[in-house]
Amino acid sequence: MKIKKLETFSNKYLGFVKVTTDTNDIGWGQVSTYNVDITAQIFHRQVAPWSIGIELDDDKPDFFDHLQLILEREHKYPGSYLLRALSGLDTALWDLYGKLKEKPVASLIGGKPKKIRVYGSSMRRDIKPEDESKRLCRLRDDYGFSAFKFRVGSECGRDTDEWEGRSEKIVKLLSHDLGSDVEKLVDGNSCFSPRKAIELGKILEDHDVCHFEEPCPYWEHNQTKKVKEALSIDVAGGEQDCDISTWKSTLEKEIVNIVQPDVMYMGGLYRTLQVANMANKLGLPCTPHAANLSLVTVCTMHLLTAIPNAGKYLEFSIEDETYYPWQKNIFTRDPFKVKDGFVNVRDEPGWGVEINPAWLGKSEYRISE
């Protein structure tokens, strides 16, 4: 069985990959979101040429070496864009094998279909604490969310809050309003110096917050470690890291308590499994980054059924099309229904989703064959 053609369907925000073999079997995957018009070009320039005509194992998804070979052939381009493109090939091949074996991807990697607990992940900083509290409490009551993550500081903010006093106010208010039965997580998005992060971290400790994500500039690992060592709550990070050598360094230096690789940033499921396994050897939980309701969350759902060090919950964006307009009508059927704070990994072949033909029809199309 050989790869016969690779097709992309994309717009500026979102892009899907279709792989077709010489046996006319197909699989669907996704490149990472944002600037996908650029990523699709990279896919056809730097991923597809190494992949058309390659022989695939007819029996099992044994293509990790091919992914590595692409990175070696493109060794002068070790950055994020190449890996964002590579994720399209990886995830499409996993879907292909799931359909060939008539199994969900979860089962191919040692897991199985089941319910996954979610935490509601807020993406907004422009929202007043009172309004954030209202919508999180409503989601708690209507859908049974038992954990939420909300934003503190400003993105890469150099110690500047989104507006003065917002971080402290939202922590105190949501701690009170959500109650002790709901786990509370915060995300700093690289805002703080160690001193400021520790100051805020002490407030988090006093107000029942259990998880402080990316408190310092993510590239300053030693700063993050200072915060981790000064606080009793978990410090999490790694969503931006896509290089395996960086991950090895992060783990060896014990920078964080929780690792958060992103399937699409990492270059696909295979490389994310590699990071999860490295973390597992050190006894660290893996709670991957999955910040929107595209295929990244579907892939992460399957991943969490299989890894022994899966974190307590799946990141699940609570933002609708008013925040992510490009999320609307991606799939023919909603794979993200939350009930009692859980979503279901379905017992269907591959990723268990179908891309909406109407969406595909409006996208920019390219083919390599």
Q: Secondary structure of 96-120 in the HEC alphabet?
A: HHHHHHCCEHHHHCCCCCCEEEEEE
The tokens describing 321, both together, are 């099309």
User: How do the domains of the chain map onto residue ranges?
Assistant: 3-102+357-368, 108-344
Tokens of 206: 């006093």
| Percent over 70 (pLDDT), the chain | 100
pLDDT band at residue 17 under the 50/70/90 scheme: very high
Q: How confident is the model at residue 197 (pLDDT cuts 50, 70, 90)?
A: very high
Q: What is the pLDDT of residue 51?
A: 98
Helix (H, G, I), strand (E, B) or coil at 211: strand
Average pLDDT over residues 269-289: 98
The whole-model pTM stands at: 0.96
What is the architecture of the domain spanning 108-344?
Alpha-Beta Barrel (3.20)
- The pLDDT score that the predictor gives to residue 86 is 98
Q: Among candidates 300, 207, 213, 197, which has minimal Cα distance to 257?
A: 213
**Average pLDDT of the residues in 249-264:** 98
Share of the chain above pLDDT 90, in %: 99
How sure is the predictor about 39, in pLDDT bands with cuts at 50, 70 and 90? very high
Mean pLDDT of the chain: 97
pLDDT value for 74: 98
Looking at residue 236, its pLDDT comes to 98
Three-state secondary structure of 9-42: EECCCCEEEEEEECCCCEEEEECCCCCHHHHHHH
CATH superfamily ID and name for 3-102+357-368: Enolase-like, N-terminal domain (3.30.390.10)
Cα–Cα distances (Å) from 200 to 127, 177, 207, 231, 237, in that order, read 19, 19, 11, 10, 17
Confidence of residue 29 (pLDDT cuts 50, 70, 90): very high
Q: What pLDDT band is residue 298 in, cutting at 50, 70 and 90?
A: very high
CA distances from 343 to 270, 334, 336 (A): 23, 11, 6
Looking at residue 332, its pLDDT comes to 97
Predicted pLDDT at 52: 98
- The average pLDDT across 79-86 equals 97
Per-residue tokens: 110 = 């040692």
Among residues 364, 247, 298, which one has the least CA distance to residue 91? 298
